[in-house]
Structure formats: C-alpha cells, structure tokens
A and B are shown apart, each in its own frame.
Chain A
Amino acid sequence: MARFRFFLIVSLVVAVFSLSFGVTTIRYGVWMVEQMDGIKAQIAAFEKEHPDIKVKLEVVPWENYWTKLQTMLAGGNCWDVFAMDTGFYMEDYVIRGAVLDLTPYIERDHIDLSVYPKMVLAIHRFNGRYYSLPRDYDTIALYYNKDAFDKAGLKYPDESWTWTDVIYAAEKLTIRDKKGNVVQWGIVSDPGLEAVQQVVFPMMYSNGVEIIGKDGHMNIDVPQAVAVLRSIRDITKHGYAPKPLPNIQDYFISGKAAMMLEGSWMLGYYDKNIKSFKWGVAPFPPFGVRATISDSLGNVIWAKSKHKEAAWTFVKWLAGKEAAEILAKTGAVIPAYKGTADMWVKGFPKEHQKDAEVFIKSVAFTNPWPRALGESKWFDRLTSYYLFEIVSGRLDVEKGLKMATEEINRIIDQTKKRYSK
C-alpha cells in the first residue's frame, strides 16, 4: 500500500512538472467588458502560435479598474501585461515608473511604427519614448434616431450640420407629456452634455481652444471655452438635454433620446442591440471649425514583471496585424494597424457601413486627447465637480472655468514638482 501511494505521488509530481515545464504564464488585465469576444479570440490565437506562453485573462470593469490597478501596484503583485487608456492616464504611470519603457525592445526587434496613423502614434509617445504600442483609436460623432426625426418631419443630420442646427433640432425633438415630464430628449451624451470626451473637449477644439498649452498648463478659462460651456448649459437649462447625473445612463439605446454625441466604441454595441428603431451617424457638428477628438488604448508591461520577455512577445503580437484583424472582425473598436480600419467598416451590415465610415473619415480633422501631468486627479475634479456644477446651472460659467483652470494648474504644478527628480 505504501509503495502504491509513493508511486501515485511521484507520477503526480511528474505530471505537474511536465505540464508546466517551459510554459510561462502571464497575467493580462483589461476592463473592456464589451470587447470580451475579441480579446478572448486574440488570446486563443496567440497561445496557438506560442505554445510556451499561457495568458491568464483578468477582467475588472472600468469603474474599479484603476483603483484595483493602483492597489495591486502598491502591493507588488500586479498583472504582467495590462490595458492602458494611454491618452487619459498613461503619464501618471510613466512618471512613477510603474510601466516598462518599450523603446529598447522596439529598437531591438525593429518594429515598424509606420503602420500606425501618425496622430494615434503621437498619443503613445512620451518625451520620445514608447511605453505602449497603439491597439486601437476612437473618434466622436453624432448618433441620431431616424424614427424620431421622421416623426418630427425633420431632415437627417449630415456633414453640413453645425451646432446651430443641432440646437434647432434638439428643441423640435424634445417631447414632454401632459405633466411636463420629458418623454424624449432632444440630445444626450452619458446622459448629460457635461461629458468631457464626447462633448466638452471636442467642442472646445472646434472653437479654437488650445486646451493644454505648449507649457503643459490648462487654458480653459478663455472666452472661446466660456462660449462653449454657455451653449451647453443653455441647452440643458431649456430642457433639451438631461441634467448631469452622477451615474451613466443610456437614453439613446432605449429610444428616449433623438440625438447622442458618442464615440466609435459604441457602434458595434448599438449595431447588435438596437432593434426597435432605425438610426444613423453624422460627423461631429462643428461649433466653430470642424473638429473631433481621439484617444487610443495600448497594452503596457508592469515594470516589475518577472516575465518581461514573454510579456513583450504578447504585447508585440497584440500590436500586430493578426491581432488587429481579430479586433476588426468583432466590430468593437477601430484597430490602429494600417489597413485594418477598412475591415472594421466591412464587418458591419450594409446599412451601417456608411456610419462606420463617418468615424474613419473624422480622423482627417481629429485632435489627440489633451495630456497633462496629474490627470488621474484633475480629470476627476474637472468632470465630477466643475463641469457637473456648471452644466447643472449651479456654478457660473466664467467663474467656474476660472476656478477649474486654477485648480487644475495647481495640480499639474504639484505633480511636476513632486516627480521632477
């Protein structure tokens, strides 16, 4: 009996070793729940090509992703590879040395960077170094409910529309019941028009505001920015758009909004999930000149990862053509790799291919996400306090933007001072 037990243990040990021998397991953290199919397909394809590397996927939704990430970094036990919102938050992690500088790897392996659009690549460059490679990019445009426009007898939005046309249409499209409660909003974002990425920043760009100046400071207390916020606040005050809510709410998908300013990342989701009405997409309506805004995601490597080579192999593959094609087919986001954007467009049914093209064509006049030090903090303060209060009508536009600019620049300076060494 004892001998039998001995054999059992030995054979188990051998089995475990032979399974794990030569196989490196890397942990991969992401938040993009709506892109799960594509991410899982990518991992399966990668593991097939690289049998010596196993990828363990860990998904944490956006609301908790950044706190979880910061806690894991503090605890010294983090994902080897994780998704990074490069425009928004990368700099905060770069200055603290939390992510690996990929430049030496890129040079060593002769990675061709010309396959990515210039504007997108710029988002991933920090003082001439790269910490991530472009995975995808996005632009913002105007989604509209065709049924609502038909009912109101209005012409659909097109590239000739300006912000004035939007206000005019929003008024006509706002429908109230007898008690005065809104049944259909004229225009929404998520849900109010205080949304920074989808409304405020692209409109400021459109009105000639240099959001972050060359000196790395914020300039949103200028008259052009005040004009933008006044218009947004007035639309809200008239009740054509909902007041800001502390929680995200999609009025468009439930047919309770006629127009919505949203990103390209929602196209695939709407295509699959909106069945009860017809809809289309028009370019971002200019407030001044034609403009929109772009952000880009990338995959980064934890600076203290024990499996840097395996992680790099994975990150390199994720930024390559095959990974981009998988992403394109699932329709979730526009992949950054040259030529795959077309695949993304063709992946949609005929009726929405033109809508997808609107987002691709917007690249011609897009602006990179404005980046400045301390964004984890100032972005939070700007959105959850200043813009929220200004658009709700509780804080004067001019005064609010002045206060916001002062506080944000203070945060930028503090961060710069703290990490200058």
Chain B
Amino acid sequence: MRILGGISRKKHAMYFLLFTVASFVFSSLAYYIPFGYGIRLSLTSYDAISKPIFIGFDNFKELFQDPVFWVSTKNSFIYALYVVPTIVILSFLIATGLNKETRLIMFLRVLYFLPMVTSSIAVSLVWKWIFHRDYGILNRIMEFFHLPRQDWLGDPKLALLSVAIVGIWGGLSYNIILFLAGLQNIPKTYYEAAMIDGATKKDMLFYITVPLMSPITFFVLVTTTIWSVQVFDTVFIMTSGGPGYATYTLVYYIYRNGFFWFRMGYGMAIAWVLYGFLLILTIIQFALQRKWVYYE
C-alpha cells in the first residue's frame, strides 16, 4: 500500500477495481470457467462432437479399475522422483557457482538461462536425435568409452529416465535464476562476520546460505513438483507414451483420451484426480515446511 500512499480514497478504490476486475476477468476466461466446466464434463460421457450424456460418477469408477491410469500415475510420480531432487540440488549448486560478478560468469548465466527461452518442442526434437538408437550422438559417445549401446527411447527400462534427463536439463535454468536472486539477497555482512569468527567455507554454506535460502528452496520444491508431475511435451514428442506404457504420464493419458479416443469426459475425470493428487502433495509439503523452512 506504500505505493498508493498519499492518493485519495476514491482514486484508491478506482485502482483497486481496475486491477482486480481486469485480472479476475482474464483468469475467469482462461481458468475458472474452464475449471467449472471441467467438473461438469467429468460427470458425462462426452466425445467433443455430439452432446454430452450425464453418467454420474461412472468415469471415476472406471478410472480406479483402469490399469493404464495407474501405470500413468506411477510413471508421473517416478518421473517426479527422478526430476525434483536432481533439479533442486543441481540448480542450487550451479546458482552458488554463478553468484559472482565477473564477465565470464555473466556470460555463463546467459548460457544457463538459454534452455528456458527455447521452445520445448524444438528441444525435444533435438534430444530425440541425441538419444537415437542407430545414429544418436549419445550412443557414439557410449561406444567411444567402450560401453554398450543403449536403446534410450525404445527400452522400457530406460525410456522414462531418458525423458527425465531432458526434463532436468530444461527445468534447471528457471530455478537457477530463482536461487540466484535469493543468493543475492543475503547480506554480505553475514559472511564477513562468520569469517571473523573463523568459520570455514563449508560452515558458511550450511549455517548461513542453506537456512537463509530455505524459503526459496521450498518455493522451488513445490513448483518443480507440480511442474514435473504434469510432464507432457517431452513425452508427446519423444516417445508418444511408448514403448508400451513405459512413458505414459497422467497428462499424456488425458490428452490421449480427450483428443484421440473421443473420451473428453473421461479425460476430465483424470484431470480432476490429478488435481487432487497435486493438492494433497502440496498440502503435505506445506505441513512439513514448518520443520525446515526458516523465515527471517
């Protein structure tokens, strides 16, 4: 409210309306209305062409007996397990490395940020070639080190991991920026004081940087979890859910149902269950944060 300090009550109300109404209209159109419409459709059999037929909770009943739904759930969460801890730890470490003001580091920051501004479709296409069984550069490298060639995207044991590698690569940059901003907010005086008291570099990392960064870490953890459980584009381009079910994720399964199999209602039901999963997961994370997140 400091920004609006010194202006009249009337003007204040006007700004309030202007900003809130505008954002409400846009978020309604893009979010709340489809959200509500989705609830309604999840209770119907809807093929997106003819009229929806109300079927009550049949979609949800079917869903809990649907093996592909459970495989997709499992894959989504295994993917998150691959991606989330790796991203949190790696982007934290890289950000610490980049927290200097030399020319080289500034240049490196740009490089690290590049994946963020690259189209994920283009990225997935390039990675598809890197992973290619016959012509991929990764298998050439494996051969160079006398390691056996792998069918990265065609082997069900490896496919999800390969997709996760791309997810990690693509997800790092945004989180590095977040951590970097957090690091630059830590006053230098803390480190100076610690140095005078004879603290080592390791002590400073664990007793100053990590606790002061915990709110950012928490934010990164929550957003990365949600983002990774919702993985879609890399799966869509690189494996189409294959081989077999090996890379079917929840969002990909929703897409498959809604836009391939004429089962929009069923897709909506899965979307709602996914929403429930993420809500529970986030609540748990918020409950646990009291134990480790330190607010100044």
Contact = CB atoms under 8 A, between A and B. Distances in A.
A384 B242 CA distance: 7
Interface string B241-269: 11111000000000010011111100000
B244 A389 contact: yes
A289 interface: no
Given A96-B47, A97-B50, A394-B156, A245 B133 contact: yes
Interface in A170-226: 179, 181
A377 B260 contact: yes
Contacts of B134: 249
A380 B133 contact: no
Given A96-B50, A388-B244, A376 B260 contact: yes
A24 interface: no
B260 A246 contact: no
B49 A97 contact: yes
Contacts of B151: 243
A96 B49 contact: yes
B245 A385 contact: yes
Interface string A154-171: 000000000000000000
Nearest to A71: B259
Size category of the binding interface on chain A: 20 to 34
Contacts of B133: 245
B239 to A, nearest CB: 5
Given A181-B149, A380-B260, A246 B242 contact: yes
B261 to A, nearest CB: 4
Contact of A377 (B156, B238, B262): B262
A108 interface: no
A67 B154 contact: no
B108 interface: no
B240 interface: yes
A226 B263 CA distance: 31
Where chain A touches its partner, the secondary structure class is helix
A389 B156 CA distance: 10
Given A385-B244, A394-B244, A376 B262 contact: yes
A53 B49 CA distance: 27
Interface string A68-101: 0011011000000000000000001100111000
Nearest to A97: B50
A70 B262 contact: yes
Of B47, B134, B241, most A-chain CB atoms within 10 Å: B47
Of A71, A181, A247, A394, most B-chain CB atoms within 10 Å: A247
B48 interface: yes
Nearest to B149: A181
Of A67, A243, A246, A377, most B-chain CB atoms within 10 Å: A246
B50 A243 contact: no
A296 B259 CA distance: 24
A249 B48 CA distance: 33
Contacts of A97: 49-50
Contacts of B263: 377
A12 to B, nearest CB: 34
Of B45, B149, B156, B244, most A-chain CB atoms within 10 Å: B244
A74 B49 contact: yes
Contact of A376 (B238, B242, B261): B261
Interface in A381-401: 384-385, 388-389, 392, 394
Nearest to B53: A418
Nearest to B49: A96
Contact of B240 (A74, A384, A394): A384
B262 A96 contact: yes
B153 interface: yes
A380 B261 contact: yes
A201 B72 CA distance: 29
Contact of A246 (B48, B53, B154, B259): B154
A244 interface: yes
Interface in B73-123: none
Interface string B179-221: 0000000000000000000000000000000000000000000
Given A73-B48, A74-B264, A67 B259 contact: yes
Contacts of A392: 154, 243
Closest 8 pairs (CB-CB, A-B): A74-B48, A377-B261, A246-B242, A67-B259, A96-B49, A98-B49, A73-B49, A389-B244
Interface of B: 45, 47-50, 53, 128, 133-134, 143, 149, 151, 153-154, 156, 238-245, 256, 259-264
Given A246-B243, A389-B243, A394-B156, 19 more contacts: A70-B259, A70-B262, A73-B48, A96-B262, A97-B49, A181-B149, A245-B133, A245-B154, A246-B238, A246-B239, A246-B242, A249-B134, A376-B262, A377-B261, A380-B256, A385-B242, A388-B242, A388-B243, A392-B243
